[in-house]
Amino acid sequence: MSIAFSAETSSFTLRVRSSVYVIEARADGRLVHVGSAPASGGWTPTSLSQYPDADYIWEPGGPRYELPTFGDVAHSDVALKASFPGATGDLAPGEANHVPVRDLRLRYVSHEIRTDAAPALSAKHQQLPRESSTQRQTLVIHLRDIGYDFHVRLFYRVTPEYDVIERWTEIENRTNGEVKIESLAFGAVHFPIGDYDLTHAAGSWAREFIPTTRPIAQGVTMLAQQGLNTGHSVNPFYLVHERGQATEHAGNVYFGALAYSGNWSLRFEQLPTRATHVIGGYEQTDFELILAPGATHTTPAFVHGVADDGLGGASRRLHAFARDYILPGFTDDQLRPVLYNSWEATYFDVSADGQIKLARAAAEIGVELFCMDDGWFGARRNDRAGLGDWVVSPDQFPQGLKPLIDEVLRLGMRFGLWVEPEMVNPDSDLYRAHPDWILHFPGRPRTERRNQMILDFGRADVVDFIYRALDTLVRENDITFFKWDMNRYSTEPGSSAGVGIWRKHVEGVYDIMDRLRTAHPRLDIQSCSGGGGRIDLGILQRCDQAWTSDNTDAIDRVWIEDGYSLAYPLRAMECWVTHEHNHQTNRRLSLDLRFDVAMRGTLGIGTNIDRLTDDEKASYSRKISFYKRIRSVVQNGDLHRLANVRDGNVSVWQVVSADRRQCVYSAVVVDQRQGQHTPMYRLRSLLPDTVYRVTDEHNKELLRVPGGQLMSLGVPGDARSAGLGRSMRSRTLWIEAV
């Protein structure tokens, strides 16, 4: 079994395929981390019994608490800080009970091991089932404060063949008074003693997910977002590796991600002893949780694990886990459909006739899901009016959406609609009726961004109102896809929910999405937040795909894709082919390059396709058919980054099917210099003695060689010219066992 308890050492051993994680309840009840180690090392951290039982966390062998609390820990970061209204226990003679007690010391009470019989979704959904998981186990460790009737339960759900442990924390107040929680993490993870580097993604609007590596220096290194979305500037995942010890393909990499879409932080700390840990959970800046007597709070999850095959191995584990356990089940298709989105074609200028023209052109080239973007509702003719009024505009659609949707369905496509449910323009019927429904502090300025304000999801009536508006849209129209957008960052978080608004907002978004999906099982949702501002494992539990950036320039996108791919699965990465003359960067890029970059995830088209020439339409059709041929591997396969754009000017991806008999090779040279050869890269993970056929989008055979040869020589490096100057070249190849 994956979880074992030894009564002799009072320790828990959690075993996954490639690593082992050990926890010990010490004689005095303190729950401490013993160690974690890759299984390939052949050893298991056993017990701390031979180490001095130091109280002080900076002493060698000092306690590395599984959940460090303010009280047990005084000089370094903590995962939980609670304040009790008055003392329990004995007071010194004459001592007054007048100070809140900010002191929490948790001790082991009991534990249980639960078995979760649910199989991996892969068995149900994937064309090529991977080793199917039949049982997942969850360890629950019960802790209690030394005096107060305050309980904490630590959860560890183990998915062995994915090398993943999911952690979350439940706190329960059984005292008679309110307990103020001043800081709360979902979990803490300790790394083996050492010096580490942190690889993660950082950026900004239109430049999300830029891969970054930096040292975890002594002291605290923090990734955080105080917001109502996940954030553009940093994303809640990490790959941590011992300095100089890991590459893309080799070495131990400790990975982790928070399943949460709001105010989050990942705080890495290296102590003077070189003991290093990360505490991940709610961001502390404006945090408070009042736990009433009898109340319980359960945190979102912190997913973590260890890969023994480099950064690539860590990404593959996160991808597989997200595909099979995080992303919602499939609806109509096993594969993500090819999408059309109207935004860059029409912007706000949407009309029934115009959209019908686009839909006909989309169906002709092979699109399967037609999504009408912003501009279809209320008085929304630009970004200054109408947000919040989720009724079809009678000016643009005099007969409602029915003629358009009927035509889309007649053409054999599904229909989707853009919404931005959390927002309101002051120039809207909703705001005129309910000016008090927005986040603000009474008597203080109400900041607008993109002419919009944020609805107060701290109010249950507001959340319910928005749910009913969206539910009505789906009930009255054949809508099977929402693009759920969120286009501003938060200011003035004044709410009836007080400081709790940070959590309430995210809970409101999750609640609406969950209710919609339950009421409408065929509905898919795309997460968008001014591009890639809301991508994390929490939103991906509710959304089938995500928009990684408003920047659709194929060259800029290569960086974004490389960074996104560090943690998130390709099937959720929506990518559009847009105009030759890019709207964001003004750069002209060939159709080949635009398709090659967009085919690395779930393909979408965002051009003004009703203006294409017949030749252009034929090229679009051919490339979309090619994508349909390769997409089961792109969307469900294992990614190997053969070359990272951050290491040079080349990005080469290879995505391999679970049975290793099919793969997609995608190479982009972003800036080729005169005289520089296009480099060749050895393929990985093929069957050495099996003969593979290498073909291009025309199904032209380029090679027929054994896998061993492809893994030793790669494919020829003569990536075709992008046709618009020699500096940008790309190619996508399909490689299949004969």
| Among the listed residues 203, 305, 530, 538, the single contact to ligand DGJ using CB under 6 A | 530
- x/- mask, ligand DGJ, residues 490-529, rule CB under 6 A, reads --------------------------------------x-
| Among the listed residues 208, 269, 485, 556, the single contact to ligand DGJ using CB under 6 A | 485
Q: How far is the CB of 442 from ligand DGJ (least distance, A)?
A: 30
Q: How far is the CB of 105 from ligand DGJ (least distance, A)?
A: 48
Q: How far is the CB of 418 from ligand DGJ (least distance, A)?
A: 5
Q: Is 203 in the site for ligand DGJ (CB under 6 A)?
A: no
Element (H or E) spanning 503, and its range? helix 501-519
How many angstroms separate the CA atoms of 151 and 482, rounded? 41
Task: Using the minimum distance from each CB to ligand DGJ, give the nearer residue, 374 or 561.
Answer: 374
Residue 620: which residues within 8 A CB-CB, separation 6 or more?
Answer: 365, 366, 577, 591, 605, 609, 612
Q: Is 103 in the site for ligand DGJ (CB under 6 A)?
A: no
How many angstroms separate the CA atoms of 734 and 88, rounded? 69
Residue 629: which residues within 8 A CB-CB, separation 6 or more?
Answer: 734
How many angstroms separate the CA atoms of 667 and 678, rounded? 10
The answer to whether residue 615 is catalytic is no
Q: Is 487 in the site for ligand DGJ (CB under 6 A)?
A: yes
Among residue numbers 241 through 300, which ones bind ligand DGJ (CB under 6 A)? none
Task: Using the minimum distance from each CB to ligand DGJ, give the nearer residue, 269 or 536.
Answer: 536
Q: How far is the CB of 341 from ligand DGJ (least distance, A)?
A: 7
Q: Is 342 in the site for ligand DGJ (CB under 6 A)?
A: no
Other Cβ atoms within 10 Å of 519 Cβ, number: 13
Catalytic residue among 373, 524, 550, 638: 550
Task: Using the minimum distance from each CB to ligand DGJ, give the nearer residue, 289 or 528.
Answer: 528
Q: Is 418 in the site for ligand DGJ (CB under 6 A)?
A: yes
Q: How far is the CB of 319 from ligand DGJ (least distance, A)?
A: 23
| Among the listed residues 84, 415, 510, 547, the single contact to ligand DGJ using CB under 6 A | 547
Task: Using the minimum distance from each CB to ligand DGJ, give the nearer residue, 207 or 661.
Answer: 207
| Among the listed residues 325, 343, 397, 681, the single contact to ligand DGJ using CB under 6 A | 343
How many angstroms separate the CA atoms of 542 and 329, rounded? 9
Bridge partners (DSSP) of residue 19 are 38
The strand pair at 136-145 and 289-291 is best described as: unpaired
How many angstroms separate the CA atoms of 239 and 9, rounded? 31
Element (H or E) spanning 713, and its range? helix 707-713
Q: How far is the CB of 289 from ligand DGJ (least distance, A)?
A: 32
Residue 224: which residues within 8 A CB-CB, separation 6 or more?
Answer: 234, 264, 265, 266, 267, 283, 285
How many angstroms separate the CA atoms of 304 and 237, rounded? 9
Catalytic residue among 163, 308, 427, 485: 485
- Integer-rounded Cα radius of gyration of the chain: 27
In sign, the C-alpha dihedral spanning 553, 326, 288, 236 is negative
Residue 16 contacts residue 317 (beta carbons within 8 Å): no
Q: How far is the CB of 262 from ligand DGJ (least distance, A)?
A: 19
Task: Using the minimum distance from each CB to ligand DGJ, give the nearer residue, 373 or 556.
Answer: 373
**Dihedral in degrees, nearest 10, Cα atoms 312, 247, 191, 320:** 0
The 10 Å CB-count burial string (b at 16+, else e) for 88-124 is eeeeeeeeeeeeebebbbbebeebebeeeeeebbbee
Q: How far is the CB of 344 from ligand DGJ (least distance, A)?
A: 8
In the bound complex, which residue of the shown chain has the CB atom lying closest to ligand DGJ? 374
| Among the listed residues 531, 563, 569, 707, the single contact to ligand DGJ using CB under 6 A | 531
On the CB side of 39, how many CA atoms lie within 13 Å of its CA? 14
Task: Using the minimum distance from each CB to ligand DGJ, give the nearer residue, 11 or 425.
Answer: 425
| Among the listed residues 161, 373, 562, 592, the single contact to ligand DGJ using CB under 6 A | 373
Q: Is 422 in the site for ligand DGJ (CB under 6 A)?
A: no
Element (H or E) spanning 556, and its range? helix 554-564
Q: How far is the CB of 363 from ligand DGJ (least distance, A)?
A: 22
Task: Using the minimum distance from each CB to ligand DGJ, give the nearer residue, 240 or 573.
Answer: 573
Q: Is 374 in the site for ligand DGJ (CB under 6 A)?
A: yes
Residue 36: which residues within 8 A CB-CB, separation 6 or more?
Answer: 19, 20, 21, 22, 45, 190, 191, 192, 254, 306
Task: Using the minimum distance from each CB to ligand DGJ, give the nearer residue, 322 or 372.
Answer: 372
Task: Using the minimum distance from each CB to ligand DGJ, give the nearer residue, 139 or 577.
Answer: 577
Task: Using the minimum distance from each CB to ligand DGJ, give the nearer residue, 343 or 489.
Answer: 343
Using alpha carbons, select from 719, 714, 712 the residue that is nearest to residue 735. Answer: 714
How many angstroms separate the CA atoms of 394 and 288, rounded? 45
The answer to whether residue 55 is catalytic is no
Other Cβ atoms within 10 Å of 619 Cβ, number: 16
DSSP tag of 19: E
Task: Using the minimum distance from each CB to ligand DGJ, give the nearer residue, 489 or 547.
Answer: 547
Q: How far is the CB of 463 from ligand DGJ (least distance, A)?
A: 22
Reduce the DSSP state of residue 710 to 3 states and report it.
helix
Q: How many residues bind ligand DGJ (CB under 6 A)?
A: 11
**Dihedral in degrees, nearest 10, Cα atoms 630, 635, 636, 638:** 90
List Cα–Cα distances, 455 to 85, 474, 507, 510, 719, in angstroms. Answer: 34, 21, 14, 15, 50
Catalytic residues: 485, 550
The site for ligand DGJ (CB under 6 A) is made up of 343, 373-374, 418, 485, 487, 528, 530-531, 547, 550
